[in-house]
Amino acid sequence: MLTAPLRRPRPSRLQEPLKLEGKLAKGMAALGLDTVGDLLEHLPRDQREARTIAALRVGEQATVAVEVRSIAGRSVHRRGMRGIVEASVFDETGSMIATFFNQPWLVKRYPGGTRLVLHGSIDARARFRVAHHAVGSEVGSSAAVHAVAHYPAGEGVSSTQILTLVRGVRERLSDIVEPLATGVRVAESLPDRAAALGAMHFSDSAHEREAARRRLAFEELLLAQLALLLRRRRHGECSRAPALADPPTLSSRWLERGLPFQLTGDQRGAIETIAKELGRSSPMQRLLMGEVGSGKTVVALYAMLRAVEHGAQAALMAPTETLAEQHFATLQRLMGDEPVTMALLTGSTTTARREAALGRLKTGELSMVVGTHALIEPDVSFRGLAVAIIDEQHRFGVRQREALDAKGSPHMLHMTATPIPRTLALTRYGDLDRSVLRELPRGRQAIETRIVSGEREREEAYQRLREQLQAGRQAYVVCPLVEAPPEDVQDRVYGDSATLGGSSSVEASASSTVDGSQARAATAEFERLRRGALAGWRLALLHGQMRPREKQEAMAAFAKGEAQVLVATTVIEVGVDVPNATIMLVENAERFGISQLHQLRGRVGRGEHRSTCLLIGPPGSARLKALARHSDGFRLAEIDLWLRKEGELIGSRQSGMGRFKVASLPEDAALLERARAWAQEILDHDPQLSGPAHALLGNALELAYGEQAKRPIAA
Ligand code: ADP
Ligand code: MG
pLDDT digits (tens, 9 = 90+) for 141-173: 555 555 445 677 677 787 778 888 999 999 999
The dihedral built from the CA positions of residue 406, 407, 411 and 417, taken in this order, carries a sign that is negative
Q: Is the CB of 297 under 6 A from ligand 1?
A: yes
Q: Is the CB of 264 under 6 A from ligand 1?
A: yes
pLDDT digits (tens, 9 = 90+) for 344-354: 999 999 999 99
Instruction: Work out the average pLDDT over 623-639.
Output: 85
DSSP string, 369-411: EEESGGGGSTT---S-EEEEEETTGGGS-HHHHHHHHTTT--E
Cα(395) to ligand 2 centroid in Å equals 13
Question: Is residue 666 reached through a cis peptide bond, with omega within 30 degrees of 0 on the bond before it?
Answer: yes
CA dihedral 191, 642, 31, 147 (to 10 degrees): 60
Coil/strand/helix, residue 616: strand
What phi, psi does 537 have (nearest 5°)?
-95, 160
Query: How far is the C-alpha of 458 from the C-alpha of 461, rounded, in Å?
Result: 5
Q: Is the CB of 225 under 6 A from ligand 1?
A: no
pLDDT (0 to 100) of residue 669: 83
Cα(294) to ligand 1 centroid in Å equals 6
Cβ atoms of 112 and 144 within 8 Å: the answer is no
Q: Is the CB of 263 under 6 A from ligand 1?
A: yes
Cβ atoms of 74 and 83 within 8 Å: the answer is yes
Cβ atoms of 225 and 665 within 8 Å: the answer is no
Q: Is the CB of 295 under 6 A from ligand 1?
A: yes
pLDDT (0 to 100) of residue 510: 33
Query: How far is the C-alpha of 679 from the C-alpha of 224, rounded, in Å?
Result: 9
pLDDT at residue 49 above 50?
A: yes
Cα(659) to ligand 2 centroid in Å equals 29
Other Cβ atoms less than 10 A from the Cβ of 489: the count is 13
Q: Which helix (H) or strand (E) holds 518?
A: helix 512-531
Cα(542) to ligand 1 centroid in Å equals 23
Candidates 439, 59, 30; CA nearest to 268 is: 439
Ligand found nearest the CA of 289: 1
Distance (Å) of CA 89 to CA 60, 99, 116, 343, 525: 18, 10, 9, 64, 43
Ligand found nearest the CA of 296: 1
Cα(426) to ligand 2 centroid in Å equals 23
| Beta strands at 94-101 and 84-91: parallel, antiparallel or unpaired | antiparallel
Q: Which helix (H) or strand (E) holds 9?
A: none
Query: How far is the C-alpha of 500 from the C-alpha of 485, rounded, in Å?
Result: 16
Instruction: Work out the average pLDDT over 186-192.
Output: 95
31 or 369: which carries more pLDDT confidence?
369
Distance between start and end Cα atoms, the chain? 49
- Band of the pLDDT at 519, cuts 50, 70, 90? low
Which DSSP symbol is given to 536?
A: T
Cα(322) to ligand 2 centroid in Å equals 12
What phi, psi does 414 have (nearest 5°)?
-95, 130
Among 27-31, 303-307, 433-437, 624-628, the range with the most confident prediction by mean pLDDT is 303-307
pLDDT digits (tens, 9 = 90+) for 387-444: 999 998 878 887 888 899 999 999 999 998 877 777 777 777 777 888 888 877 766 6
Instruction: Work out the average pLDDT over 477-500.
Output: 41
Ligand found nearest the CA of 602: 1
Task: Give the position, in ligand 1's atom list, of the atom nearest the Cα of 437.
Answer: 3
pLDDT (0 to 100) of residue 485: 36
Cα(606) to ligand 1 centroid in Å equals 9
> What ranges make up the beta strands (E) of 458-603?
474-478, 539-542, 565-568, 581-586
Ligand found nearest the CA of 320: 2
Ligand found nearest the CA of 391: 2
Pocket test for ligand 1, best of 259, 266, 298, 413 (most atoms within 8 A of CB): 298
Task: Give the position, in ligand 1's atom list, of the atom nearest the Cα of 577.
Answer: 14
DSSP string, 256-320: III-SSPPPHHHHHHHHHHHHHHTSSSPPEEEEEE-TTS-HHHHHHHHHHHHHTTT-EEEEE-SS
pLDDT at residue 654 above 50?
A: no
Identify the residue whose C-alpha is closest to ligand 1 atom 19: 295
289 class by beta-carbon count within 10 Å (0-12 exposed, 13-18 middle, 19+ buried)? buried
pLDDT digits (tens, 9 = 90+) for 199-223: 999 887 778 888 999 999 999 999 9
Cα(44) to ligand 2 centroid in Å equals 45
Distance (Å) of CA 576 to CA 1, 632, 635: 73, 20, 24
Cβ atoms of 441 and 295 within 8 Å: the answer is yes
Identify the residue whose C-alpha is closest to ligand 1 atom 25: 441
Report the range of poorest mean pLDDT among 92-96, 509-513, 538-542, 622-626: 509-513
Other Cβ atoms less than 10 A from the Cβ of 579: the count is 17
Cα(646) to ligand 2 centroid in Å equals 25
Distance of CA 394 to the CA centre of its chain: 8
| Beta strands at 565-568 and 411-416: parallel, antiparallel or unpaired | unpaired
Cβ atoms of 221 and 700 within 8 Å: the answer is no
pLDDT (0 to 100) of residue 634: 77
Cβ atoms of 98 and 113 within 8 Å: the answer is no
pLDDT (0 to 100) of residue 398: 78
Identify the residue whose C-alpha is closest to ligand 1 atom 22: 441
Q: Is the CB of 615 under 6 A from ligand 1?
A: no
Cα(25) to ligand 1 centroid in Å equals 62
Instruction: Work out the average pLDDT over 3-19.
Output: 78
How many degrees, rounded to 5, is the angle at CA 503 between CA 501 and CA 508?
A: 140
pLDDT digits (tens, 9 = 90+) for 451-465: 999 899 999 999 999
**Phi/psi-derived region of residue 311, left when phi > 0, alpha when psi is between -120 and 50, beta in every other case:** left
Identify the residue whose C-alpha is closest to ligand 1 atom 16: 295
pLDDT digits (tens, 9 = 90+) for 61-78: 788 888 999 999 987 777
Q: Is the CB of 502 under 6 A from ligand 1?
A: no
Q: Is the CB of 294 under 6 A from ligand 1?
A: yes
Task: Give the position, in ligand 1's atom list, of the atom nearest the Cα of 267.
Answer: 23
Report the range of poorest mean pLDDT among 392-401, 466-475, 627-636, 648-657: 648-657
Cα(313) to ligand 2 centroid in Å equals 21
Other Cβ atoms less than 10 A from the Cβ of 667: the count is 15
Spatial neighbors of 219 by CB under 8 A, at least 6 apart, are: 179, 180, 193, 700
Ligand found nearest the CA of 606: 1
